[in-house]
Amino acid sequence: MAEHRGWITGVVIGAGALTLVLRNHPTVGAVVLVLALVLVVLAAVAVYAALAFGPGAGEERGAPA
């Protein structure tokens, strides 16, 4: 996930931009909704990456030696 974070960010932002481009006449509400969804997804990706690859991610869990 960490090695593909740039790609994931680009795809999420690109999907949001494509949504706004393909919509004929986006209203202010639609733009705000799409931007909010993009920000929520990017925040979720950041949290997932931090939890999956944070400190101690590669350590074995077991009884101390």
For residue 49, count other CB atoms closer than 10 A to its CB: 15
Q: Give dist(CA 16, CA 63) in Å, integer.
A: 47
Six token digits for residue 46: 């950041």
For residue 38, count other CB atoms closer than 10 A to its CB: 19
In a domain, 61, yes or no: no
- In terms of residue numbers, what domain contains 45? 2-51
Indicate the pTM of the whole model: 0.72
Query: Which 3-state string (H, E, C) describes 12-44?
Result: HHHHHHHHHHHCCCCCHHHHHHHHHHHHHHHHH
In a domain, 39, yes or no: yes
pLDDT digits (tens, 9 = 90+) for 39-58: 999 999 888 888 876 666 55
In a domain, 43, yes or no: yes
pLDDT digits (tens, 9 = 90+) for 5-39: 788 889 999 999 999 999 888 899 999 999 999 99
Count of domains for the chain: 1
